[in-house]
Amino acid sequence: MTSDPAPRLSRTDIARRAALDLPDGGIVNLGIGIPALCSNLLPEGVELRYHAENGILGFSEMDTKLDGDPNIMDAGGNFPKLVPGMAFFDSVESFGLIRGGHIDVTVLGGLQVSGKGDLANWMIPKRGIGSIGGGMDLATNAKRVIVAMEHTTRDNKPKIVNQCSFPLTAPNCVDDIITDIAVIKVKTQGLFLMEAAQGWSPEDVQAITEPKLIVSDNFKTFQTA
């Protein structure tokens, strides 16, 4: 594969772009890694109620301190800031919210996403370790699933593939893919390229994406603010 035509976005900028798609007032669950960065990158005036699988609802951002209260952590080990109205409950109640379809949006990381919207994000077979956690429930039951990830692996192999070779988290579940070079919407007709990073053409994005991309009529340059 050829070298990149322009710089890729940072992990923070991927999260910042994903945060633009979170609905004001919505109930949102953030996965670990890039998704967790979204909580402190919301556009001005947007307020969300975050949910964590281990039994928290209603926090609005993460405490960036590393010495937070170990008794108040989300499922990814982050420290939510305490705000009036937060609720704490057990995992039965928490997964009841998820499986009942009460999560408006979940932002998850990804190892692979297929052209049909299948998601694999919990184990790399060669490593032989991994835990699916609540990802299966979130991917299956959230009203909207956004995957925020880097577009390729460290050796520049596509992570958006024709068919996932890693164990699936859930099939046909992804609505949107936001990477360091593109915003892609998953529809029944295929993968629609909505945005590309500055300096990246649709052809550049296609070169490191296995499935055929359909360039949207509203295609534009990547927006992060």
Catalytic residue numbers read 53
Burial 30-62 (b: 16+ CB within 10 A, else e): bbbbbbbbbbbbbeeeeebbbbbbebbbbbbbb
CB 79 within 8 A of CB 73: yes
CB 175 within 8 A of CB 196: no
Query: Tokens representing 172?
Result: 């046909």
Terminal alpha carbon distance of the chain: 31
CB 111 within 8 A of CB 154: no
How far apart (Å, rounded) are the C-alpha atoms in residues 133 and 106? Answer: 14
